[in-house]
A and B are shown apart, each in its own frame.
Chain A
Amino acid sequence: MSAPKLNVADVAGLARLSLTPDETTKFTAQLSQILSHMETLGQIPTGDVPEVVPPAQPVLRKDIPTPSLSVEAALANAPAQNNDLILVPKIVE
């Protein structure tokens, strides 16, 4: 495992977070300490170990429609709405 290069501001942008300069400085120091701790994993041999370990086998239900939330209930929490639609800022000019 190579030494991690974490550009906190860039990664925050990918996660749709904008950080203050103070947060960026603080998180950079804290996360680099945490990532160094994670470097220890590199020393564990994992050659032919299977990668994903699902803790349980999924139990699927039949694909049959059943009653669900009403439109009114589903929209009750929307910060802005009109005509049974959620309003957001314009995304296409």
Chain B
Amino acid sequence: MSLAHETLASLRRRLSSKEIHSRDIVKDLLTEIGAREKTVHAFTHIDEKAALAAAEKADSSLPLGGIPIALKDNLNVLGDPCTCSSKILEGYRAPYDATAVARLRHAGAIFLGRTNMDEFAMGSSTENSALGVTRNPWDPTRIPGGSSGGSAAAVAGRLAIAALGSDTGGSIRQPAALCGCVGLKPTYGRISRYGLVAFASSLDQIGPLTRTVEDSAILLSALSGHDPRDNTTELRKPETFLSKPEGSVKGLRVGLPKEYFLPGMNAETEAAIRSASQWFEKNGATLVEVSLPHTPAAIAVYYILATAEASANLARFDGVRYGRRAVDPKDLLDLYQRTRSEGFGPEVKRRIILGTFVLSQGYTDAYYRKAQKVRGLLRQDFESAFTKCDLLLTPTSPEPAFPLGERTQDPLKMYLADVFTISTNLAGNGAISLPCSFTKSNLPIGLQLIGPRFGEEKILQAAHAYEQAHDFWKRMPPV
């Protein structure tokens, strides 16, 4: 069997016993990429030579020694392009490593492939990429989800062993759900964002996309920890997640938020989530109905705060210090305006305009400040729910992968794809998505488990127990 089909945990064991070499994994991945990347288009950039050279030098005694990881194209890797799938970063080469990248490097990992994304992580389908759309390996006429759609499609399609993504409103979990892999958004403050191109700094978090929950735990252990270069990372003792898998959910109190089960929701998704919750009950967990009453406001709060922060963060792309610059500007204003208008795609422009508007004089009270207050209420909702339960169980996405092009002209409808994931970003909690069923037409459905802040061990234990009792993670996509 091709090594591209194995899990990170299995490859790690075989590398450390010297049964296989890192170059064998890289070669097998390149064979898979050669066969299917043309259809999936998960990557923006692949440097085969550099990956093979790194594999030759890999030290298999390290925790991730010789394991190839794919990286979302918004993470800086010294000397490499970092496009954010945008024309505005044409020609840019990173002058430093992101902390997450440096940590993986330090643990011995090597890097193979930069993955496609919605431009600047703004989107839920990876269709907002200036470098072409990514297709879902389960059905190439459908979207892979977004914004980390390239990472999810690469992992699901056996084109990568594991990948990093970033999640501002669901951008790891939603594509993981739609592509049938495991996506973890850690608690805000768990992983440094230094070197991640900022979209909305009070919401952004880096996390792994993997085949299994165990693989997710391995990467989370390597990535976590305080970084003096990101003052939102909390000082905590280093943890090794899932070091002793319990394999049981006995005694666990699982909350079902009633606002996440709506009349008229996708029937196959609802049935899958109900059936997953019954599995928890049958295996000794208690189901508790809870309420997160401000959930219906989450989309509005998110798209006010995220766009406000984005409008400030993206002001740095002005053609002066790096990236694209407009040709023959007549003055500085012309340089700014033409560089930005030529370099940004429509969704990024829309969000910058919206963010600028909600921060503009006369409107901040009604929009930005109001949204900050409702964000506080959403956070209280979670705190109050976690007094009644240990974890929340919800769908990750209201429906399975939708067809390419279906929502590109209807941004509001696209935004509604994030309805079950954005509240956790607003509250700062960690959450995982893992496969829990397939539709009649063979599209994956994702189950979301949300934990209290810094409750990743609890999330991973429950997710691992569920995963190992099923075989959804073993299924192979047709493409």
- Chain A positions within 8 Å of B, measured between CB atoms, are 1-2, 4, 6, 8, 11-12, 14-19, 23, 26-27, 30-31, 33-35, 37-38, 40-42, 44, 46, 49-61, 69, 73-74, 76-80, 86, 88-91
Say whether B360 contacts A14, CB under 8 Å: yes
Q: B334 — which chain A residues lie within 8 A by C-beta?
A: 89
Q: A79 — which chain B residues lie within 8 A by C-beta?
A: 91, 319-320, 322-325
Say whether A44 contacts B95, CB under 8 Å: no
- In B416-433, the 8 Å CB interface with A consists of 427-428
Say whether A56 contacts B232, CB under 8 Å: yes
Q: B234 — which chain A residues lie within 8 A by C-beta?
A: 56-57, 59
Say whether A1 contacts B366, CB under 8 Å: yes
One of A26, A49, A78 near B373 (C-beta < 8 A): A49
Say whether B349 contacts A46, CB under 8 Å: no
Cα A2 to Cα B1 in complex, Å, equals 63
Q: B142 — which chain A residues lie within 8 A by C-beta?
A: none
One of A17, A34, A38, A60 near B340 (C-beta < 8 A): A17
Q: B435 — which chain A residues lie within 8 A by C-beta?
A: none
B35 adjacent to chain A (CB < 8 Å)? no
Q: Which of B93, B331, B353, B412 has the most CB of A within 10 A?
A: B353
Say whether B354 contacts A34, CB under 8 Å: yes
Cα A26 to Cα B357 in complex, Å, equals 16
Say whether A77 contacts B325, CB under 8 Å: no
Say whether B318 contacts A16, CB under 8 Å: yes
Say whether A61 contacts B319, CB under 8 Å: no
Contact with A along B305-344 (1 / 0, CB 8 A): 0000001000100111111110001111111111011001
Closest residue of A by beta carbon distance from B234: A56
Closest 10 interchain pairs by CB?
Answer: A77-B322, A55-B428, A79-B325, A46-B373, A56-B189, A61-B228, A58-B231, A16-B336, A15-B356, A38-B300
| Least Cβ–Cβ distance between B123 and chain A, in angstroms | 14
B252 adjacent to chain A (CB < 8 Å)? no
B301 adjacent to chain A (CB < 8 Å)? yes
Cα A15 to Cα B339 in complex, Å, equals 12
Contact with A along B286-312 (1 / 0, CB 8 A): 000000001011011101100000010
| Least Cβ–Cβ distance between B315 and chain A, in angstroms | 8
Say whether A23 contacts B376, CB under 8 Å: no
Closest residue of A by beta carbon distance from B322: A77
Q: Which of A53, A55, A57, A89 has the most CB of B within 10 A?
A: A55
Say whether B370 contacts A76, CB under 8 Å: no
| Least Cβ–Cβ distance between A84 and chain B, in angstroms | 13
Cα A54 to Cα B188 in complex, Å, equals 10
Say whether A88 contacts B320, CB under 8 Å: yes
Say whether A77 contacts B332, CB under 8 Å: no
| Least Cβ–Cβ distance between A16 and chain B, in angstroms | 4
| Least Cβ–Cβ distance between A23 and chain B, in angstroms | 7
Q: A69 — which chain B residues lie within 8 A by C-beta?
A: 95-96
| Least Cβ–Cβ distance between B419 and chain A, in angstroms | 12
One of A34, A46, A57 near B412 (C-beta < 8 A): A34
In the complex, 6 of the A-B residue pairs with CB atoms within 8 angstroms, ordered by the A residue number, are A1-B366, A2-B366, A16-B340, A35-B354, A40-B300, A56-B188
One of A41, A55, A89 near B329 (C-beta < 8 A): A89
Cα A38 to Cα B358 in complex, Å, equals 11
| Least Cβ–Cβ distance between B198 and chain A, in angstroms | 15
Cα A51 to Cα B415 in complex, Å, equals 24
| Least Cβ–Cβ distance between B454 and chain A, in angstroms | 10
Say whether A41 contacts B232, CB under 8 Å: no
Say whether A91 contacts B366, CB under 8 Å: no
One of A31, A49, A58, A89 near B354 (C-beta < 8 A): A31
Q: B226 — which chain A residues lie within 8 A by C-beta?
A: 59
Say whether B300 contacts A59, CB under 8 Å: no
Say whether A77 contacts B340, CB under 8 Å: no
B107 adjacent to chain A (CB < 8 Å)? no
B350 adjacent to chain A (CB < 8 Å)? yes
Assuming the contacts A56-B428, A78-B322, asked whether A18 and B338 have C-beta atoms less than 8 A apart, the reply is yes
Say whether A38 contacts B346, CB under 8 Å: no
Say whether B92 contacts A77, CB under 8 Å: yes
Say whether B337 contacts A30, CB under 8 Å: no
Q: A52 — which chain B residues lie within 8 A by C-beta?
A: 372
Q: B319 — which chain A residues lie within 8 A by C-beta?
A: 79
Closest residue of B by beta carbon distance from A87: B320
Q: A19 — which chain B residues lie within 8 A by C-beta?
A: 341, 349
Say whether B232 contacts A16, CB under 8 Å: no
B248 adjacent to chain A (CB < 8 Å)? no
| Least Cβ–Cβ distance between B230 and chain A, in angstroms | 9
Q: B322 — which chain A residues lie within 8 A by C-beta?
A: 77-79
| Least Cβ–Cβ distance between B414 and chain A, in angstroms | 10
Cα A89 to Cα B95 in complex, Å, equals 25
Q: B91 — which chain A residues lie within 8 A by C-beta?
A: 77, 79
One of A33, A55, A86, A88 near B232 (C-beta < 8 A): A55
Closest residue of B by beta carbon distance from A1: B366
Q: A53 — which chain B residues lie within 8 A by C-beta?
A: 372, 375-376, 379
